[in-house]
Structure 1
Amino acid sequence: MTHTSVDDGECVRVGREIAVFSRALYERGWMPGTAGNLSVRLSGGVALVTASGRDKGDMTAQDTVLVRADTGEEVAPGRLRASAETTIHSAIYRTTDAGAVIHVHSPYATAVACRTGRPARLTSLRIERLELLKGLGLADPTRAEVPVFPNWPEVPRIAADVAAHLPATPHAPPALLITDHGITTWGHDLAQARNRLECLESICQLLLLTGAGPSPEGKES
Structure 2
Amino acid sequence: MEFNSNITDPRSSLIATARYFYQKGWMVGTAGNLSARLADGSFWITASGKSKGELLLNDFVCITSDGKVKPSSLQIKPSAETVIHQLIYNLFPQSQACYHIHSIESNLVSRFVEGDTLPLPPLEMLKGLGIWQENPSCVIPIFTNHFQVSQIAVDIEKRFALAAPQISALLIRDHGLTVWAGSLETARNYIELLDYIFRYMVAAARLGM
TM range (shorter): 0.7 to 0.9
Cα pair 1:139 1:171 within 8 Å, conserved: no
Listed as ranges, the matches of 1:87-126 within 5 Å are: 87-96=83-92, 97-116=94-113, 123-126=116-119
- Asked if the contact 2:141–2:165 (Cα under 8 Å) also holds between the matched residues in 1, the reply is no
Structure 2 residue aligned with 1:218: none
Which string of whole-angstrom CA distances, capped at 9 and with x for unpartnered residues, describes residues 172-194 of structure 1?
Answer: 21000001100001111221111
Residue in structure 1 matched with residue 43 of structure 2 by the alignment: 47
Task: Give the match for residue 144 of structure 2.
Answer: 150
* 1:205 alignment counterpart: 199
Identity of aligned residues (%): 34
**Alpha-carbon offset, residue 68 of structure 1:** 2.2
Correspondence for 1:138: 131
TM-fit CA distance, 1:75: 2.1
Instruction: State the alpha-carbon separation in 1 of the partners of residues 179 and 37 from structure 2.
Output: 14
Return 5+ residue gaps in structure 1 as ranges: 1-8, 214-221
Which amino acid counterpart does residue 16 of structure 1 have in structure 2? S
In 1: Cα distance, 2:132 partner to 2:98 partner: 21
Contact 1:116–1:179 (8 Å) recurs in 2 = no
* Structure 2: distance between partners of 1:171 and 1:50: 25
Q: Distance in 2 between matches of 1:73 and 1:159?
A: 16
Is residue 74 from structure 1 mapped to residue 106 from structure 2 by the alignment?
no
**SS of aligned partner of 1:29:** coil
Instruction: Output the CA distance in 2 between the equivalents of 1:91 and 1:171.
Output: 14
Unaligned runs of 5+ residues in structure 2 are: 1-6
With structure 2 as the length reference, what TM-score do the two structures score?
0.88
Alignment of 1:2-81 (within 5 A): 10=8, 13-69=9-65, 71-76=66-71, 78-81=74-77
The CA RMSD measured in Å over matched residues stands at 2.1
For residues 133 and 87 of structure 2, the distance between their equivalents in structure 1, rounded to whole angstroms, comes to: 25
Determine if contact 1:103/1:182 at 8 Å carries over to the other structure: yes
Residue correspondence of structure 1 range 177-196 to structure 2 within 5 A:
177-196=171-190
Deviations 1:58-111 (A, max 9, x none): 001211000024x43212252211100011111111111211000001221121
Aligned length: 199
Contact 1:94–1:163 (CA<8 Å) still a contact in 2? no
How far did 1:197 drift? Answer: 1.0
Question: Is this contact kept in 2: 1:114–1:181, CA < 8 A?
Answer: no
Q: Could you tell me which amino acid in structure 2 is paired with residue 17 of structure 1?
A: S
Q: Cα–Cα, structure 1 residues 139 and 132, in superposed 2: closer, same or farther, change >3 Å?
A: closer
**2:58 is paired with a residue of what secondary structure?**
coil
